[in-house]
Amino acid sequence: MIAELVARLVSTSALAGTRASLTLLCLGLAGRFELLAAPHPWMTSNVGLGVLLALVIVEELAEQDEDLQALFDMVAYALRGGAGALAAGTIQASASGAGLEIPQWGAAMVGAGLAVGTHHLRAQLHQQLVGAGEGVLSPRTWLAWLELGGVLGLMVAIVLAPILALGFVVVASLAGVGVIVAKRALEDRVWRRACDGCGARVRVEARRCPGCRQAVEVARWRG
């Protein structure tokens, strides 16, 4: 029971950092059908579900457009942190109903922290893919669709098989970190060279080393 509780707490918080509104909508529906306990009555009300559905549409529109996402990112950390706290509150309420007491403030802090961390990771991943294509040819578009489907699938798993959901969250996080590290390593190899004076990695178009401040020759200009 404790393992399932931890798995649900971590998974829902991470999903809130990926799709805040959709995660809360799914939790609200789960509470409406009494699959999970809802910490706040508004999450299961008709008005609350309608508002969350509208927010899902807005969030998805922002995710599919690079310009809108840039504007959304200005407040995304706060919004997804708050969503993570609410999502964790749902798990905390379910645990209390099953006889396991978790401090509400503790669950909220864990949920907010995991949601913010997840959002930061995916923001870095999306940043690496900016400009790689447009429309359906853009890797960002496919990643956004994959995230959307993943959130829906994992929300089902959180209710039915929380340990499995946690496993997918961990694997997806590690894969995201791997992509970011590999992309940066490739860029470092292609677009940087070693400074003759101090050995620091200098951009190929730079005229001065940021490490030792010595003048360096421009290797080539980036197109």
CA 88 to CA 36: how far, in whole Å?
A: 12
> Tell me, what's the pLDDT at 134?
67
Q: Could you report the per-residue pLDDT of 117-166, keeping only the tens digit for each? A: 999 998 888 877 766 666 666 777 788 888 888 899 998 898 888 888 88
CA 39 to CA 29: how far, in whole Å?
A: 13
> 83 and 4 in contact (C-beta within 8 Å)?
no
Q: Could you report the per-residue pLDDT of 88-107, keeping only the tens digit for each? A: 888 877 776 556 677 778 88
Name the residue with higher pLDDT: 26 or 194.
26
Could you tell me what percent of the chain has a pLDDT over 90?
Answer: 26
Chain Cα centroid distance, residue 133 = 21
pLDDT-based confidence at 114, cuts 50/70/90?
very high
